[in-house]
Amino acid sequence: MTDQPLLSIRHLTRQFPGSPRPAVSNLSFEIAPGEILALIGPSGCGKTTSLRMIAGFQIPDEGRILLSGRDITRVAPEKRGIGMVFQDYALFPHMTVGENVMFGARAASARWLGHWLELVGLQDYADRYPDELSGGQQQRVALARSFAAEPGLILLDEPFSNLDAALRAQTRREIRRLLKSTGIGILLVTHDQEEAMSFADRIAVMQGGVLQQIGTAAEVYDRPVNAFVAGFLGRTNLLKGAARGDLCQTPLGALPLARPAEGEVQLSLRPEMIRLTPAPEAEANGRITSVEFRGHDVTYWVDCSGLELQVDAMGGPRLCEGAPVLLQIEGRLVPLG
């Protein structure tokens, strides 16, 4: 990777007429060459507006967009050097796969068509039409068309949402491997947390038009900065406690903290950090109130002196509703801002 970012977003703000607040406010982040960044958040958080500003479909009220150091904030979309794969793939139904791929290609030759189709594993499909392909194959055609334009950056807008659940995970792995092999920078916009965590090198979490946290999936999951990030990226239990340095007094007793804190705090306790063991009534500190069996794992809801906790277990004894249990915390709780 070079020292210069591929994409640099600096203080982007966009407010629509009649709206009480900006759709996007003071957004800043960077993407390195060859990096995949996922921009995630709930519906209405501003991620699609951000994507449209980067693509050139909307102009920001404030801020700058730099691609390889070139200011493209007010450059026309077709002159930005950015490719885009839409949610519905936007293939031309009257064109063959080959014609779709070469539409807008920089090097319009049969040799290059073969190169792009081979890259996405569709070298034998040049003469077929989009309606003769599966959803995953149509997605590959859309990617090949983006590659053929030789962009510096590709934007992916909810690219896996039209695939059925059985194919989604496999397709994500294959597309990620393909994209990483090209060295092209990628910005993925999605509301799917699992998709973002498994697909991207880093994730950026948005809420209410504001970037809340950016980092690797492990960093953001393990060290969320606030309750929204903790609850949006995975599942968590929120506790209150009194912190003093590296320890915090909670309804579950004195527990270690991931970072020092002082005074009244809110804590994030991930469900997989709690271990349950059957216990006699006299030794138990909780009771199971509900069980959700999912095959490879089980979610238990446990009442602990009036505090309801979610516990995710991959193994161990199968426990039933009403069973008294002993809760033990493994790991450190995260104090939230």
What would the pLDDT profile of 24-35 be if each residue is shown by its tens digit? 999 999 999 999
Categorize the per-residue pLDDT at 292 as very low, low, confident or very high, splitting at 50, 70 and 90: very high
| pLDDT for 164 | 74
170 contacts: CB under 8 Å, gap ≥ 6: none
Q: What is the pLDDT of residue 295?
A: 81
Predicted local distance difference test score (pLDDT) of residue 135: 81
User: Residues 239, 266: contact at Cβ < 8 Å?
Assistant: yes
The predicted-structure confidence for 157-178, as pLDDT tens digits, reads as follows 887 777 777 777 887 888 888 8
Confidence at residue 118, expressed as pLDDT on a 0 to 100 scale: 86
Torsion region of 183: left, alpha or beta (phi above 0 gives left; psi -120 to 50 gives alpha)? left
Q: How confident is the model over 110-137, as a mean pLDDT? A: 85
Asked if residues 304 and 252 have their Cβ atoms less than 8 Å apart, the reply is yes
If you average pLDDT over residues 188-200, what whole number do you get? 92
Percent of the chain with pLDDT over 90: 66
Pair type for strands 334-336 and 324-329: unpaired
The number of residues in the chain equals 337
Residue 138: per-residue pLDDT:
87
Rounded Cα distance between 251 and 140, Å, is: 52
| Cβ-contact 25, 12 below 8 angstroms | no
304 class by beta-carbon count within 10 Å (0-12 exposed, 13-18 middle, 19+ buried): middle
pLDDT attached to residue 3: 75
State yes or no: pLDDT of 228 exceeds 90.
yes
225 vs 121, residue with greater confidence: 225
DSSP 143: H
Query: What is the average pLDDT score of the chain?
Result: 90
Estimate to the nearest angstrom the gap between the alpha carbon of 291 and the chain centroid.
28
What pLDDT, in 10s, does the model give residues 253-275? 999 999 999 999 999 999 999 99
Taking CA atoms, 270 is separated from 227, 314, 329, 331, 332, in Å, by: 12, 14, 10, 10, 10
- What integer pLDDT is reported at residue 1 of this predicted model? 43
Question: pLDDT by residue (tens digit) across 55-89?
Answer: 999 999 999 999 999 999 999 998 999 988 877 77
Reported confidence tier of residue 107, pLDDT bands at 50, 70, 90: low
Between residues 149 and 110, which one has the greater pLDDT?
Answer: 149
232 pLDDT higher than 60: yes
Only one residue has tokens 């909780």, namely 286
Whole-number Å distance between alpha carbons of 76 and 58: 10
Q: How high is the pLDDT of residue 108?
A: 62
Q: For the chain, what percent of residues have pLDDT higher than 70?
A: 98
Strand order in the sheet with 274-278: 274-278, 324-329, 286-293, 298-304, 307-313
Q: Check whether 2 has a pLDDT greater than 70.
A: no
Question: How large is the average pLDDT for residues 221-231?
Answer: 95
Are the C-beta atoms of 50 and 24 separated by less than 8 Å? yes
Q: What is the DSSP string of 245-304?
A: EEEEEETTEEEEEEEEEEEEEEEEE-GGGEEEEE--TTT-SEEEEEEEE-SS-EEEEEEE
When pLDDT is cut at 50, 70 and 90, the band that residue 110 belongs to is low
